[in-house]
């Protein structure tokens, strides 16, 4: 019985919607899922952030992001979620090393950790929305001002989109990542597909 499920591939929360995603290069707006990235939520106590933040950043090779920002160009990257609260994201399958490295950086090796590091790889999935109309699509539900004067590549924010809590991360001039809880992913993707009606 065990053999049957062994090695069974993980299944994305929006796998059933994959055929509907507009992913044509050069389109006005593209949507694709980057499933199964390793994700670790990191919480640092205020007083220890100065000491342990740099250690964590060193391990991640990208430093820790400033408030409202992301750090890291490729994998891994780190998103600022709140004061002393970060989400480190890396390639699929790397959660174990990511977690262990961050726990070490937080001082787990010397007894008392100064915060927490929790594997949340399966808690959110990553959607990539890009193209010249991506910002316009987001404006149908996102209350944040995403104008280049107030937002832009390298910025990130937790907010609400289509009544779902998301982490919004702008990666390029017209490229956005949306990290959404897996249980909301089906709703958010269907909402995005509908929001794209006038643009695809």
Partner 1 sequence: MLLIPCPWCGDRDEVEFHYGGQAHVAYPSDPDALDDAAWADYVFMRDNPKGWFRERWTHTAGCRRWFNVVRHTVTYEIAGSYRPGDVPPKVAS
Partner 2 sequence: MTGSFRTASGGTRIDRSRTLTFTFDGTTYTAHPGDTLASALLAHGVRVVAQGPYTGRPRGVYSTGAEEPNAFVQVESGPGEPMVRATRLEVHDGLRASSLSGRGRLVDAPDTGRYDKVYAHCDVLVIGAGTAGRAAALAAVAAGARVIVADDRPGIGIEASGELTVLPRTTVTGHYDHGYFVAVERRTDHLGDAAPARTARRRLWHVRARRVVLATGALERPVLFPDNDRPGIMLAGAAAAYVRRYGVLPGRRAVVFGAHDGALQAALDLLDAGVEIACVTDVRASTGPLGDRLRERGVTVLEGRAVTGTESGPDGILTDARIGGDIVPCDLLAVSGGWNPDLHLFTQAGGRTRWSAEHAAFIPGAPPRVPIDVVGSARGIPGEAAEHLPEGADGLVFVDLHRDATLAGVRDALQAGMTSNEHVKRYTTIGTGADQGRTSGVPASGALARLLGRAPGEIGTTTQRPPVEPIPFAVLAGRDRGDLLAPARRTPMHGWHEEHGALFEDVGEWKRPRYYPRPGESMDDAVLRECRTARARVAALDASTLGKIDVQGPDAAAFLDRIYTGRISTLAPGRCRYGVMCGTDGMIFDDGVAARLAPGRFHLTTTSGNAARVLDWLEEWLQTEWPELRVRCTSVTDQWAVVALAGPRSRDVLTALAPGLDVAAFPFMATREAEVAGLPARVFRISYSGELAYEINVPSWHGLALWEAVMAAGEPHGIAPYGTETMHVLRAEKGYIVAGQDTDGTVTPHDAGLGWAVKAAGGWVGHRSLHRPDTARADRKRLVGLRPRDPAVVLAEGAQLVAEPPPAEITHPVPMLGHVTSSYRGTVGSFALALLKGGDEREGETLYAVDSGRADAVTVTSPVHYDREGARRDGDG
How far apart, in whole angstroms, are the C-alpha atoms of residue 195 and residue 97?
Answer: 38
182 touches partner 1 (CB under 8 A): no
Which of 54, 58, 61, 83 touches partner 1 (CB under 8 A)?
A: 83
Site for partner 1 in 127-146 (CB under 8 A): 143-144
82 touches partner 1 (CB under 8 A): yes
Q: Are 186 and 13 in contact (CB under 8 A)?
A: yes
Provide, rounded to whole angstroms, the least separation between the CB of residue 184 and partner 1: 12
Region from 5-13, 24-32, 58-66, 169-177 binding partner 2, contact rule CB under 8 A:
5-13
Q: Which does 124 bind (CB under 5 to 8 A by kind): partner 2, partner 1, none?
A: partner 2
Which of 89, 129, 157, 162 touches partner 2 (CB under 8 A)?
A: 162
Residue listed under structure tokens 């989109």? 161
141 touches partner 2 (CB under 8 A): yes
Region at 163 (left for phi over 0; alpha for psi -120 to 50; beta for the rest): left
Provide, rounded to whole angstroms, the least separation between the CB of residue 35 and partner 1: 24
Counting beta carbons within 10 angstroms of the beta carbon of residue 88, is it exposed (0 to 12), middle (13 to 18) or buried (19 or more)?
buried
How far apart, in whole angstroms, are the C-alpha atoms of residue 190 and residue 150?
Answer: 28
Which of 19, 25, 110, 197 touches partner 2 (CB under 8 A)?
A: 197
SS3 62: coil
DSSP 8-state class, residue 9? P
182 touches partner 2 (CB under 8 A): yes
Q: Which does 3 bind (CB under 5 to 8 A by kind): partner 1, partner 2, none?
A: partner 2
165 touches partner 1 (CB under 8 A): yes
- Total chain residues near partner 1 (CB under 8 A): 13
- How far is the CA of 13 from the CAs of 37, 47, 116, in angstroms? 13, 38, 27
50 touches partner 2 (CB under 8 A): no
SS3 42: strand
């Amino acid at each position: 019985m065990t053999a049957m499920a062994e090695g069974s591939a993980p299944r994305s929360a929006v796998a059933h919607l994959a055929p509907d995603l507009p992913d044509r290069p050069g389109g006005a707006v593209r949507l694709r899922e980057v499933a199964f990235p390793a994700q670790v939520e990191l919480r640092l106590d205020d007083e220890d952030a100065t000491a342990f933040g740099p250690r964590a950043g060193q391990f991640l090779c990208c430093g820790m992001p400033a408030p409202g920002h992301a750090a890291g160009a490729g994998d891994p990257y780190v998103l600022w979620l709140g004061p002393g609260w970060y989400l480190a994201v890396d390639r699929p399958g790397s959660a174990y090393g990511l977690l262990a490295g961050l726990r070490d950086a937080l001082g787990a090796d010397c007894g008392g950790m100064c915060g927490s590091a929790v594997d949340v790889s399966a808690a959110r999935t990553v959607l990539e929305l890009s193209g010249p109309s991506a910002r316009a699509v987001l404006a149908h539900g996102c209350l944040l001002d995403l104008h280049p004067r107030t937002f832009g590549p390298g910025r990130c924010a937790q907010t609400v989109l289509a009544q779902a809590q998301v982490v919004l991360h702008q990666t390029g001039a017209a490229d956005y990542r949306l990290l959404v809880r897996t249980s909301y992913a089906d709703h958010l993707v269907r909402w995005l597909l509908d929001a794209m009606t006038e643009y695809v």
